[in-house]
A and B are shown apart, each in its own frame.
Chain A
């Protein structure tokens, strides 16, 4: 508690950087972000445009370095713009899930009693429904737009966050500093937000980064199954469109597949690094 905030974050950064995998993950994510941001400058047209003959192999035509897909769309354009869709949906969905999960978990733990009972049962109810089925159902009912897909993933992924937050809050609820705040007459919400939350959040952030990875996978699965938004480029949709050509033009599936694999891997590596950095129990490992 004695150390200043800046030396504490330096300490975090140092311990994050000590994890080589995490640094690699961070580099990959930065590249993906750069691609997503630069996409409109690199490709000056709708990425879904059919530009050339279908099934041009990568590295054969310099105009389309990654080749064309089953419809004759530029795979490079689809990958770059697909990065936007993927990052947007997965970060927004993970953010939604984290906010929802933290609120539900915090309220359940702090107020206890019947509210805890109801919220815990609700969490368990959501956990019993297979995630992918839940997402597919919500998207099928609401319609295939980016907003709905983000919402569907968000409201499916919150239970683990809620459980973790609840456990953290339960552990911190009766600690001396909290009791001190109470005796000073602080309100419930103020204690929950300003006092407990900063202490409870590190493991939630770690879990949140893993949830971003899962969200990417869910977004891809939904698009692969043809339930994605057909008006935007998506890595999963590209794999789905290319799968009947797997014997002849396997690169159509392989290129977006690699993109998904590296991005999800990167998110998990970053999660590990964050765990090293933020978990005090691992400090002297």
Chain B
């Protein structure tokens, strides 16, 4: 259904896509689809209000969405995993990849009228990126210097791969030095009324309801944004968002805003469009991980048997209403660069799974083989349901399951601090680049007791550690892909963690909302190209 919708979407709005893509192809635009200016867009996402409009340390999807309309990165990634300029017009690596020259855009001003300069970039890298957001990624970073009024040079002690480096630039926001200098960035009250260079200016935040933005009349990208105003409103539950869409109060919802069964109901009317484009930079998956501290599930043969016993296609169909598919590798299949499709698939076959367990030395005794604690992380309602499926599948082959579905805080504590599980059902949203965020799940460095969303299963394999270290400094992009494939092969063999099902994230919007195409991560997009066709 979704694929069909997407195809329909592509063919009918290809012209719009081209028009929207004209920033990379100047001069190419079609008259009938010229974006219209004006109007205020009410948007939301499938979650709650942020803790602050901008959370410097990260803070999850909600503040990412609310802050990226105001603050901008140096470059962004498009839906082909290629980079395009934002605040930087050029990023060039030295021949040995130990330094990068960054040229910034001319004539950009902050929302308070101050000019954007290289000093802002130097301040941001030293005081914000290095200590707070990209520490691990910038571990070989040695310094940043001003070359001239428009250029800075970042230097590294070891070669730094270009895609890896640009990914850091594309996911890190630039802060105004004149506002933050001398203050504690994380606790500065300005984070609730941010000043940036983006297409929208902060207007007001009515807590418990919405954040309102005004158009930035002096935006550097001439003629944009097309909208006069933007409102991000928050609803407590998915069914109310669907009702708000039908009532015309809500035009755009990103990241699974409404219940899956309602998506078809809304799109059937032709007044609404659903698309799964724009989630390359945050590919969500439901994961299964095996705790190495339990000798039974530490055995790769048992892990393979368990995966073979789980009917993942049925989970994708029933729990996710078909908006998911069985995972193949630890790297999501939507990853256009690093995904390895040629891996053992562990298709559903309970009889084979039972034989595998017999062979592994766990025969049936008195109607069961062994007992496991299964922890399904309660932050998504679906996880509890997946837990029910997995429990049933495992009980069918004689594994007794004690299922727990704790709330968000207890799940994080149970998995990442207490390691109190044998099998955990969790989630992650992966970027295209694998180092370090994804590799943290499988490296020995990734084991940090109490730190969430990294290696919780205690997996430690020197071969893997070496491979990831090599990947972090390999500058040949093809070799990096080979290394990533090797990494996936090792994971598919040892199975410390893997993707159970790949979740399809969906954006639902009113038909009149145009210009959403071409982004790797719609959550982090500034919406400068969005317009209303009414």
Contact = CB atoms under 8 A, between A and B. Distances in A.
Interface of A: 46, 48-50, 54, 70-72, 140, 143-144, 226-227, 230-231, 241, 243-248
A226 B404 contact: no
B301 interface: no
Interface string B258-282: 0111100100000000000000000
B473 interface: no
Q: Which 7 A-B pairs have the closest CB atoms?
A: A244-B259, A230-B405, A230-B403, A248-B261, A54-B318, A231-B403, A71-B385
A71 B388 CA distance: 9
B318 A143 contact: no
A48 B388 contact: yes
A144 B389 contact: no
A71 B405 contact: no
B318 A71 contact: yes
B417 interface: no
B196 interface: no
By secondary structure, the B interface counts as helix
Given A50-B389, A71-B388, A244-B239, 18 more contacts: A48-B388, A50-B388, A54-B318, A71-B385, A72-B318, A140-B406, A140-B407, A140-B409, A144-B405, A230-B387, A230-B403, A231-B391, A241-B384, A241-B385, A243-B239, A247-B261, A247-B265, A248-B261
Contact of A144 (B260, B391, B404, B409): B404
Interface string B380-409: 010011011101100100000011111101
B238 interface: yes
B385 A70 contact: yes
B259 A245 contact: yes
Given A50-B392, A72-B318, A230 B238 contact: no
Q: Interface of chain A, helix or strand or loop or mixed?
A: loop
Interface residues of B, number: 29
A70 B261 CA distance: 11
B405 A143 contact: no
B380 to A, nearest CB: 11
Contacts of B261: 244-245, 247-248
B378 interface: yes
A71 B402 contact: no
B432 interface: no
25 contacts: A46-B392, A50-B318, A71-B319, A71-B388, A72-B318, A140-B406, A143-B404, A144-B405, A144-B406, A226-B381, A226-B384, A226-B405, A230-B387, A230-B388, A230-B403, A230-B405, A231-B403, A241-B381, A241-B385, A244-B261, A245-B259, A246-B239, A247-B239, A247-B262, A248-B262
Contacts of B265: 247-248
B64 interface: no
Nearest to A145: B404
A227 B407 CA distance: 7
Contacts of A247: 239, 242, 259, 261-262, 265
Interface string B214-238: 0000000000000000000000001
